[in-house]
Structure 1
């Protein structure tokens, strides 16, 4: 008889009350509240959860049988369950169990494989999850309207994009987020892929990138990649392995920033790339403009072309000509400084011109508003400054006068590498305004004093400074 009958409802409640009484009679945590020792909290929740798990495992006084059929095989999993628990947790189960004591469910293989975890969650509100189980568990939570689990799995996916997996999972999670309309997860996936693209293109999941995701990624200027050549080679592999429509292929190839590739590499690509040969008519105008960009002075080129369109804006390139990788050991110890050089601009006309940069890192910079305490001779005033009032500081400035690079703006980007679930990845990206040498909120929430800080890898701070030269539109291009 189903638990909707009065007698069965009474039985169900009796079982739960008995469990609670047994639990509360056991030894548990007793905690005083405030200064009043007569007011305490007795916490036996862990024991209650244990009892409920036993209820599912042993099938004691069960009144519902749930049969889970794998739609792709003859496998059937049977669970002796309880009407009260299922209907309290899921409105869908409440509807399905109307006038029924045996419930037959049809689930795909991946969902059937984790159904025991799912139903156990309904009893104890706790679940262990791995990367490959995230989508099927989210599907079950969505199907049976278990909102807390649905939200919890979505949050797990957002925070475990960097986790190692044999086949890769970020692309599949993005595709799933598109289907479910989870915009927050979509953006988290796009951002992770953009900031870690060099790693992604060397993984098995690269060729599984959808047409829409590929076109969305290639529009971004914040792609972290070794060079535009590396990106072109990766796109060429993606095109070779997929059978996309011609408009998609054309859009993808047009999104490559050929002007960011040196003439030597451009010539090699034209000569050797079968994909470019096949679709040459699509991009030959872009290649011609790229060669013109490299052969003339930026000032002359700007008379005829808009130098501020995406084609002439660098991405976040990791090669040494665009910046400097800076690993700071024991970053809380003292101030550090380095000097490095980058090209004046992406045009080959400026390739022989270098800009020297000075970078200063200070682990305990004091904001201006608090510096006045140092002018006070009293020791008490100096001691009033707390360590938490200070913050890390990074200053990047040219070691040359502005006249040496007139007509060029420099965007400074700082990549902060972290170690997540055993995998190195870029999680934080800071962009300096082109007119400033310092970012006010750089690592403002980082606690570098803690060895467990997410910003430290083996007690070192991993930074990559990228200088992106952007030509100023000093002269309006002719129409």
Structure 2
């Protein structure tokens, strides 16, 4: 029997005796023990090692380092590493990582560390480098809960690029989604300077970008290119090398700008831009493709559609200008009765191209934020009469009806009498929410659907979680204690969680934006549901 098993058996036996005597008392003095360990660090007692970072020495203890970090454990216990016998080890860290290193080291002794939007990334980089798994988890949790604030303060791009590079997929995906659905947030000069070329290319290839129109994306890319030009001007490259690098950047990034999604008036303005004049051959080719599409000369662009990138040029993104949808705002949400229905009506253009624009498509959107109630009814068909039972659905439903498609009917033989024109569209449901007081688009649901006389209505369920939306406000989450007391994961008093999807001063406004983009048969929509 092992030593651990002996202890377990003895403990179990002693517990039985103590229970019988009813005199046992379990004492938890772990805080006092942790305080003693922290004192070793604070007063630099009995240190047997010094870590040197950026010329500063930090006394430490091999035992604590090995217990906290797998990397230090290998470094200090493996005889194949020269560090195992050294009393002073020089660590090479970046300046920003060196600035937080004392807090990082103190965490080994105390289990406490202050992190902020500014420091969480260097702390995470150290935790990753030295494989301090619990600290990695804490940093990633902080990031996921402060993404909106990071965007507001100009840190989101650096968070996104680091987590993508290091395989922190969940946080990286959350950062990418925020950037895609709130592109205007990364238009500040500071964020543009942080945005790397590969990240921009990945962004430009997405069809679920939420932005005003394609022209606004063009101006965003121009601003990014100006930042790269400034960076090149401070480099040691020759003028010829700078020009060659800049030319390659122009082709790489603007190849993913979807010029066919711009109207002729916007394309005409681009012809006068200095960048177009500077790279005339490249942009003239792109403009010709766009003008052929806009004028309905689709045979001229058939060759372009042979590739994946070519097909994407004719795939609309989620444009928020009034031409393509509307905002559904529901005020006084908490006073709404169960199964309440709110109806919105708007119209959209039938095509992205500048042809056949004389007739708009009319849409009706019925929003059911408090569930759907189907009353008991009777259905009369040729075979007889059937009772339809009452049903209640606990779901948030958006019912989208194409009013332009004629009503479907059948003749006396039961055959289709009116099929009507088909309308093929990509629908985007943009759900607004709030995180740490910052309002933004928190989720996007996409559908591709073909409306016709036989299929005039599309029901979309699950764009919002019914239970989360309709849970009473300000009830503390299960993971937190009552307001004013302390949360196990926090050193400060926790506040009750804010409702995720309700906006406004009183957290009583629900906001959803519906975007309906027309599609043609050569639009590539990928694997959209």
Q: TM-score w.r.t. structure 1 length? A: 0.77
Quick one: distance in 2 between partners of 1:120 and 1:238? 40
- Residue aligning to 2:209: 223
Quick one: distance in 1 between partners of 2:216 and 2:433? 23
- Residue aligning to 1:313: 315
- Residue aligning to 1:249: 250
Verify: 1:448 aligned to 2:448, yes or no.
Answer: no
- Residue aligning to 1:348: 354
Counterpart contact for 2:425–2:517, Cα < 8 Å: yes
Cα deviation 1:272-299 (Å, max 9, x = unaligned): x11111122113222112212222377x
Counterpart contact for 1:142–1:150, Cα < 8 Å: yes
CA RMSD across the alignment:
3.5
Out of 111, 115, 118, the position equivalent to 1:132 is: 118
Counterpart contact for 1:358–1:396, Cα < 8 Å: yes
User: Which segment drifts farther, 184-193 or 139-148?
Assistant: 184-193
Write out aligned runs for 1:43-442 (5 A): 43-59=28-44, 61-70=45-54, 76-79=56-59, 81-94=60-73, 95-96=75-76, 98-164=84-150, 168-243=154-229, 244-271=245-272, 273-296=273-296, 309-332=311-334, 333=336, 334-366=340-372, 390-401=394-405, 406=421, 408-435=423-450, 437-442=458-463
Counterpart contact for 1:250–1:279, Cα < 8 Å: no
Q: CA deviation at 1:335?
A: 2.4
Counterpart contact for 2:348–2:362, Cα < 8 Å: yes
Q: CA deviation at 1:166?
A: 7.3
Q: Kindly tell me: are residues 232 and 441 of structure 1, through their superposed partners in 2, closer, same or farther at Cα, counting changes over 3 Å? A: same
Unaligned runs of 5+ in 1: 1-36, 374-380, 475-479
Quick one: distance in 1 between partners of 2:65 and 2:303? 70
Aligned length: 417
Q: Kindly tell me: are residues 282 and 63 of structure 1, through their superposed partners in 2, closer, same or farther at Cα, counting changes over 3 Å? A: same
Quick one: distance in 2 between partners of 1:166 and 1:135? 16
SS in 2 for 1:242: helix
Quick one: distance in 1 between partners of 2:460 and 2:33? 51
Q: CA deviation at 1:184?
A: 4.4
Counterpart contact for 1:335–1:360, Cα < 8 Å: yes
Q: TM-score w.r.t. structure 2 length? A: 0.70
Q: Kindly tell me: are residues 178 and 429 of structure 1, through their superposed partners in 2, closer, same or farther at Cα, counting changes over 3 Å? A: closer
SS in 2 for 1:345: coil
Unaligned runs of 5+ in 2: 1-21, 77-82, 230-244, 378-388, 407-417, 451-456, 474-497, 524-529
Cα deviation 1:46-105 (Å, max 9, x = unaligned): 55444443443234x4333534332xxx5x2534x4332222112333433634554444
Quick one: distance in 1 between partners of 2:472 and 2:297? 50
Quick one: distance in 2 between partners of 1:472 and 1:449? 43
